[in-house]
């Protein structure tokens, strides 16, 4: 029996989504441990995206198979009873056997939040990157112009942190939206998929445009260069959240 779940988590104290041999602090590992206890057998959880260490999620999607049918409400309650306080399964439904959370994903949306003023955001401080050196203001118009040049289907190798990437680095970024709330800037990225650290490198590059450290017109050259060293800095993990996955 195949089940799809929607998960939200605060990634602050975790080493990312993907289970690793050298740490027990992963989202996948925590989910599998609880499911194994419930089912009495090893259960593998497949996530739609492998969020990095420190990255959060509001709408991560995953799926797993159980040998026997489970009561959906009972299983949902069981998961949330035994998962840590910073991980919650918000939805659980049975789906067709061929459904796969990663392979069937059509698009993902990530949000990156940046505070440029002195506001501490006491209750949201772990989900926001504080960047006070710009004095509370960024050139939003230039950042949006740069973002428009990055939209579409391109080779994003310049924005990939994996230097040994052997698979295609071509991706389609459908939309990059930049909004401002006081001294906070919100970057929303929607695409068919993202490379390792791609959203954080895109954000860092756009922030450098907003700070006046690079010209918005240079985005085309960056894409053509396919050279990570020419793009901007990798924005810290804490500001990034996976909002949702669409199928």
Half-sphere exposure of 176 (CA within 13 A, CB side): 25
Dihedral angle sign, alpha carbons of residues 145, 204, 51, 21: positive
Structure tokens at 21: 């041999």
Separation CA 216–CA 147 (nearest Å)? 8
Q: Which residues pair with 240 in a beta bridge?
A: 112
Please work out, in degrees rounded to the nearest 5, the angle formed at the alpha carbon of residue 102 by the alpha carbons of 51 and 227: 55
- List the beta bridge partners of residue 87: 9
What DSSP character marks residue 229? G
118: Cα separation from own chain's centroid: 26
Are 62 and 106 contacting, i.e. CB atoms less than 8 angstroms apart?
no
Annotated catalytic, 227?
no
Q: Which two tokens stand for residue 205?
A: 């590059």
Catalytic position from the list 52, 71, 188, 227:
52
Q: How many angstroms separate the CA atoms of 133 and 178, rounded?
A: 19
Hey, which bits of the chain come out as E strands?
2-9, 46-47, 56-65, 87-95, 107-115, 129-130, 152-155, 170-181, 184-191, 240-246
Catalytic site residues? Answer: 52
């Amino acid at each position: 029996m195949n089940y799809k779940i929607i998960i939200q988590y605060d990634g602050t104290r975790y080493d990312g989504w993907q289970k690793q041999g050298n740490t027990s602090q992963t989202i996948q590992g925590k989910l599998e441990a609880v499911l194994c206890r419930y089912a009495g057998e090893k259960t593998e959880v497949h996530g739609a995206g492998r969020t990095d260490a420190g990255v959060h999620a509001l709408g991560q999607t995953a799926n797993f198979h159980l040998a026997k049918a489970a009561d959906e409400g009972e299983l949902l309650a069981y998961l949330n009873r035994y998962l840590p306080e910073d991980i919650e399964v918000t939805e659980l439904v049975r789906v067709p056997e061929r459904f796969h959370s990663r392979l069937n994903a059509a698009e993902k949306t990530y949000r990156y939040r940046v505070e440029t003023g002195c506001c501490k955001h006491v209750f949201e401080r772990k989900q926001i990157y504080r960047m006070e050196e710009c004095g509370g203001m960024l050139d939003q118009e230039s950042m949006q112009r740069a973002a428009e040049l990055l939209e579409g289907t391109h080779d994003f190798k310049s924005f990939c942190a994996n230097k040994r990437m052997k698979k295609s680095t071509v991706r389609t970024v459908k939309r990059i939206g930049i909004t401002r709330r006081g001294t906070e800037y919100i970057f929303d990225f929607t695409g068919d998929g993202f490379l390792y650290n791609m959203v954080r490198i895109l954000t860092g590059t756009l922030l450098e445009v907003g700070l006046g450290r690079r010209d918005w017109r240079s985005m085309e050259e960056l894409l053509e260069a396919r050279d990570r060293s020419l793009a901007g800095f990798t924005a810290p993990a804490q500001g990034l959240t996976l909002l949702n996955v669409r199928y």
